[in-house]
């Protein structure tokens, strides 16, 4: 497994409390069998980063599977890898997939050929099991599922916008308004720059 970045310097998470240590650089690292693009706030500047987009395209051209969790799908879109393909992402930004030419599907995990995308963070568990099954077969995925005792029974029914109480849905929308507006602006800039 490799963690890629432009340098080998540690990269702080969006809250700044957790550091990730890249194992290689975009220029020096090998081509991978499975490309996985994570999401989160840090994805935003990458949506306009031509160097990162070119790296994603290069990796995707050789990868057996091209994958993303949460808003990592937006970077796949910015790299031109979602055009005409079924994909998903976090519910709050799901409609932005169409701006990249994707066919947005509201499911926890969506597989379209060698493209596997996962919804929000918690869907990452389902996503991981789907990827394992694609690589090693269903029995391997089921062994992992059992070893992790992954049998979700959420204590509340607020995990989807259509199930959440209206006040909770509105609170999350208000809390993410700034991030939503920034992603809309960046997506608009991407559309403008890609049509030039």
Active site residues: 70
Whether 92 contacts 180, CB under 8 Å: yes
Of 87, 86, 77, the C-alpha closest to 183 is 77
Q: How many CA atoms lie within 13 A of 167 on its CB side?
A: 0
Token pair 């992402």 in the structure block, residue: 89
Q: Is 156 left (phi over 0), alpha (psi -120 to 50) or beta?
A: beta
Parallel/antiparallel/unpaired status of strands 115-118 and 109-112: antiparallel
Angle at the Cα of 18 from the Cα atoms of 16 and 20, rounded to 5 degrees: 110
């Amino acid at each position: 497994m490799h963690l890629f970045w432009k340098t080998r310097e540690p990269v702080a998470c969006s809250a700044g409390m957790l550091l990730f240590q890249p194992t290689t650089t975009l220029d020096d690292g090998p081509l991978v069998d499975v490309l996985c693009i994570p999401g989160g706030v840090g994805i935003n500047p990458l949506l306009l980063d031509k160097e990162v987009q070119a790296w994603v395209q290069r990796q995707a051209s050789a990868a057996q599977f091209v994958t993303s969790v949460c808003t990592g799908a937006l970077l796949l879109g910015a790299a031109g890898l979602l055009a005409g393909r079924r994909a998903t992402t976090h519910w709050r930004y799901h409609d932005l997939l169409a701006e990249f030419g994707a066919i947005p599907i509201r499911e926890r995990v969506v597989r379209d050929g060698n493209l596997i995308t996962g919804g929000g963070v918690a869907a990452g568990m389902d996503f991981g099991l789907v990827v394992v099954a694609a690589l090693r077969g269903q029995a391997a995925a089921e062994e992992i599922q059992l070893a992790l005792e992954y049998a979700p029974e959420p204590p509340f029914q607020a995990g989807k916008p259509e199930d959440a109480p209206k006040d909770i849905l509105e609170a999350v929308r208000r809390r993410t308004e700034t991030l939503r507006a920034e992603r809309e602006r960046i997506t608009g800039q991407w559309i403008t720059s890609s049509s030039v």
